[in-house]
């Protein structure tokens, strides 16, 4: 990793830094998020990738059938499994606001057993851990999630883990660091 707080590629915060025929990608990101933040600042080095990733992310983050607490706990689980400080820093406060318990946040952060969590939170964390550690989910875990969230919901749960895995890889490889005062993975 680099010895400074700058990403490995330029952070594109201005529309003027990309080709004019790609302004629509920049505009869509700003429209959905209010500004160019985190992974999108570095992804805009390839405006088409940024635009397409942003399109999927807008759906997963703002329009998914999953309840906010489910989505955010899935994101935190992904951030922890990928050791992604930026993703964790951004989503820990969002997860708290969405109703994810302090116990669940700490269990994920510390990578400890989830036996003391609600069955709802335990199901999300164990599903994500198994998926991200083994690249698959056993039938029992999958069926329990499908029963709780339905076919569309379990599909979107898997897509949430996948999307935030992609962002974690981008953030880690391109060394996008969180603010110093942001929540830490520890």
pLDDT of residue 186: 81
For 24, which DSSP code?
A: H
pLDDT of residue 97: 99
**CA–CA gap between residue 40 and residue 44 (Å, rounded):** 6
**What's the pTM?**
0.94
Nearest to 111 by CA among 88, 77, 142, 70: 77
Domains of the chain, by residue range, sit at 15-63, 68-173
pLDDT of residue 1: 41
Question: How many CB atoms lie under 10 A from the CB of residue 1?
Answer: 8
| Secondary structure (3-state) at 48 | helix
pLDDT of residue 80: 99
Q: What DSSP element (H or E) covers 16?
A: none
Digitized pLDDT (tens) for each residue of the chain, 186 residues in all: 444 478 999 999 999 999 999 999 999 999 999 999 889 999 999 999 999 999 999 999 999 999 999 999 999 999 999 999 999 999 999 999 999 999 999 999 999 999 999 999 999 999 999 999 999 999 999 999 999 999 999 999 999 999 999 999 999 999 999 999 999 888
Query: Domain spanning 68-173: which superfamily?
Result: AhpD-like (1.20.1290.10)
CA atoms within 13 A on the CB side of 14: 3
pLDDT of residue 151: 98
pLDDT of residue 75: 99
């Amino acid at each position: 990793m680099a010895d400074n707080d700058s990403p490995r590629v330029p952070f594109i915060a201005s529309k003027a830094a990309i080709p004019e025929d790609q302004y629509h990608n920049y505009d869509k990101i700003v429209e959905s998020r209010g500004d160019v933040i985190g992974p999108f600042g570095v992804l805009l080095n390839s405006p088409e990738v940024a635009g397409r990733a942003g399109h999927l992310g807008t759906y997963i983050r703002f329009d998914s059938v999953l309840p906010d607490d489910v989505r955010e706990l899935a994101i935190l689980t992904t951030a922890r499994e990928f050791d992604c400080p930026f993703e964790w820093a951004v989503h820990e406060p969002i997860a708290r606001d969405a109703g994810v318990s302090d116990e669940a946040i700490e269990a994920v952060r510390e990578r400890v057993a989830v036996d003391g969590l609600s069955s709802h939170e335990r199901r999300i964390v164990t599903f994500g851990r198994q998926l991200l550690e083994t690249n698959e989910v056993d039938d029992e875990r999958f069926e329990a999630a499908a029963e709780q969230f339905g076919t569309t919901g379990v599909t979107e749960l898997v897509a949430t883990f996948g999307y935030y895995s992609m962002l974690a890889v981008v953030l880690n490889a391109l060394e996008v660091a969180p603010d110093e005062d942001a929540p830490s993975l520890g």
